[in-house]
């Protein structure tokens, strides 16, 4: 098994709405808030893993890789059976996990740098659709992560010993991370994605595709470590 750790910094390009998940807000949040404790803001790993999986599927489809597209278990199993009959396996579920498949990727919770100081509340008015005007007594507050805020996290990969297969998986994951800059988080949130450090990647940098993607994602901000 070959272990690779990718240390990431996600910088918000737009306001990202956050919420507790209960009760449901009139405007659904881009991110469900996991925890605020002692001025520290932590977001669940599913925030990134879900949108990264969508990006991975999009990249895989573009490259004609065998993949399922749905997160519905029955639909995934149906697609897996179709691929199996063709002598193929779903590459997305091999990486992210799926029905009966453990996966090889683990994402840590995201930590908002500078904590609650990067949050802002806005008050909105609900509109009465019947009359096209503000509904009486229907004010509600939405909490946002403001633009140019940094979220940090680590992605851990357990790649196979087979170097050719491991390189292929890593190429696709780095492509999905690069494409994440163009994906929406929730209803409309956008982020820039940068690598600040990568552990265990040296053996893969002789591959031109991995090296080019790695260099394109590597943060040039202070504190970035190039290996």
As a whole number of Å, the end-to-end CA separation of the chain is 20
pLDDT score for 187: 67
54-105 per-position pLDDT tens digit: 999 999 999 999 999 888 899 999 999 999 999 999 999 999 999 888 999 9
Task: Read off the pLDDT of each residue in 15-19 and give the average, rounded to a whole number.
Answer: 76
CB 101 within 8 A of CB 93: yes
Q: How confident is the model at residue 25 (pLDDT cuts 50, 70, 90)?
A: very low
pTM as predicted:
0.81
Q: How confident is the model at residue 95, as a pLDDT? A: 95
Domains of the chain, by residue range, sit at 2-217
Best CA proximity match to 54, nearest among 67, 37, 38 = 67
Q: Is the pLDDT of residue 173 over 80?
A: yes
The reported pLDDT for the residue numbered 36 is: 60
Q: Are 138 and 125 in contact (CB under 8 A)?
A: yes
- Both tokens of 121, joined, read 């509340």
- Tokens of residue 44, six digits: 């669940």
Between 131 and 111, the more confident residue is 111
């Amino acid at each position: 098994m070959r272990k690779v750790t990718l240390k990431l910094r996600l910088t918000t390009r737009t306001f990202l709405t956050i919420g507790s998940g209960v009760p449901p807000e009139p405007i659904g949040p881009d991110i469900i808030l996991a925890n605020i404790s002692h001025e520290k803001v932590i977001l669940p790993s599913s925030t990134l893993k879900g949108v990264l999986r969508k990006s991975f599927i999009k990249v895989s489809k573009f490259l004609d890789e065998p993949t399922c597209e749905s997160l519905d278990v029955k639909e995934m199993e149906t697609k897996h059976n179709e691929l199996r009959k063709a002598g193929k396996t779903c590459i997305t579920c091999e990486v992210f996990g799926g029905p009966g498949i453990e996966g090889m990727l683990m994402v840590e919770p995201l930590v908002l740098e500078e904590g609650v100081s990067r949050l802002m509340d806005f008050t909105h008015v609900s509109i009465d659709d019947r009359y096209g005007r503000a509904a009486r007594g229907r004010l509600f507050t939405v909490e946002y992560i403001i633009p140019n805020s940094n979220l940090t996290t680590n992605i851990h990969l357990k790649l196979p010993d087979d170097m050719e297969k491991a390189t292929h998986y890593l190429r696709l994951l780095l492509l999905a991370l690069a494409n994440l800059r163009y994906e929406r988080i929730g209803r409309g949130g956008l982020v820039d994605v940068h690598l600040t450090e990568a552990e265990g990647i040296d053996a893969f940098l002789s591959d031109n595709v991995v090296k080019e993607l790695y260099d394109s994602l590597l943060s040039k901000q202070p504190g970035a470590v190039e290996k």
